[in-house]
Amino acid sequence: MEIRFSDTRPTGDFALVLPAAGTLRPGLDSLGAAKASVEGTLKRNRFEGETGGVAETFLDSDGGRRLLVIGTGDDAKAGDAPEKLGGAAVARLLTSGETQAVIDLTGLGLDADASARVGLGAALRSWRYDRYRTKLKDKQKPTLTSIIIVGGAPGSEDRYASRYAAVVDGVSLTRELVTEPPNIIYPETFVERVKESVKGLGLDVQVLGADEMAKLGMGALLGVAQGSVRAPQLLVMKWNGGKDGDAPVAFVGKGVTFDTGGISIKPAQNMEAMKWDMGGAGAVVGAMKALAGRKAKANVVGICGLVENMPDGNAQRPGDVVTTMSGQTVEVINTDAEGRLVLCDAITWTQQNIKPKAIVDLATLTGAMVITLGHEYAGIFANDEILAAALIKAADTSGDKLWRQPLADAYDRLIDSQIADMKNVGPREAGSITAAQFIKRFVDDGVAWAHLDIAGMAWSDKAKPTYDKGATGYGVRLLDQYIADTAEG
């Protein structure tokens, strides 16, 4: 989707979008004699300018031009109202037959950032992945190719180009990886796709294979991978945009490109959804692309542990004991609790080789998190109050919401093993918390760490303001905003 900004409306054919902030509807004044008729249409539709409300009509006096009036709530600048405005316009027009739309912000009083975020919402909502759909009917095909934002504050275009265009690219990469089927995206092709996508952005990309990880003693990650013919990978992406010598922030992603559960096999129903069990790794590479694309003034490293969890004759068994890179041992009670085994070795590698000032891991880790928070928030667990507060602030700004969860010794004791240092699952209760406690055992003293359980957020079965059904791209905007607030603020 092409996003442009202009001081005036263009000539020619386009759909016109006018925002309505409650009863504040300055755009209607530009309609001339048609204003009264449009106001009557709004009244008949019981349109009150509420957030997400859309009224549609056609202007006979303007050659039959399509007009959308979209509600933003009483304050068009508040929260994510600008993104919802842009997203609602695209959602309504994407397959409408219109090729160009003008969103006229005149009179709303939006600043440059809010005006730019209208474009952000529009660009995010326009993303589709039709690569494998060969028989789409004409009415199902996207037609909208261009959004022109008129009447924004001075500097809106520069703000969009410098701050948000790269974020759109990063979110798009994450959605693409999460959407692709598991016969297309597996550890090796994940790496290939990412390398191609970030070419020329200045990222330093390193890849460790199975032999290299075996020499390092990464027995937990390799144990998950041993049942698959797909070779595991550890993908490392470095962005050095900050001061020389400054310790970087590290983002660590769980990248299980397909999860059958292994020997502890999952039920067949809905197993196909487990192609998105690499959503944490997807978010990390999307965030790294966004940061590099906008030349973020920060040092950041993204690390992705990439495996496929399969149940062949060589697969890890319940009851096996593995030795992690840290030297700690784990009794594997359930092979479907594999993400934490991948993360623990990835985090140890990160601490030994990167020495970061903070670690944030992201993982579609537990179904228990979905039971707890549904599909509205991801859970955050942290050992550092400053880090937790900064991430929650970034979550509120970006719209990738987080809700704080507890950590405590009482939960930690639930994963003690009788024959090893720990087991990889606790009892059924507090499943998300014991998973976080497991990861915490691999975080070195003095290292600020946060774990984001995004199990309910990487994929959506219903459309939302800035994405359609499917891959959401959750985490990219959150991590990008966190860096903007803390390392660049």
Q: Helix or strand or coil: residue 437?
A: helix
> Whole-angstrom Cα distance, residue 378 to residue 400?
8
> Whole-angstrom Cα distance, residue 441 to residue 364?
19
Return the bridge partners of 249, or none. Answer: 300, 358
What are the CA-CA distances from residue 208 to residues 309, 379, 412, 464, 489 (Å)? 18, 30, 31, 37, 33
With beta carbons less than 8 A apart as the criterion, state whether 43 and 69 touch: no
Does 66 participate in catalysis according to the annotation?
Answer: no
Active-site residue identified among 266, 393, 401, 464: 266
Instruction: Quickly tell me which residue has 């020499």 as its tokens.
Output: 215
Classify strands 65-71 and 54-59 as parallel, antiparallel or unpaired.
Answer: antiparallel
Does 230 participate in catalysis according to the annotation?
Answer: no
Phi, psi of 299 (to 5 degrees): -100, 120
Q: Is 261 left (phi over 0), alpha (psi -120 to 50) or beta?
A: left
- Angle of the 187-197 helix axis to the 279-293 helix axis, nearest 10: 20
Instruction: Quickly tell me which residue has 């950041």 as its tokens.
Output: 300
CA dihedral 381, 387, 392, 394 (to 10 degrees): -140
Residue 122: Cβ within 10 Å count: 30
Q: Helix or strand or coil: residue 454?
A: coil
Active-site residue identified among 340, 423, 440, 477: 340
H runs (alpha helix) in 185-304: 187-197, 210-215, 219-225, 279-293
Residues identified as active-site: 266, 340
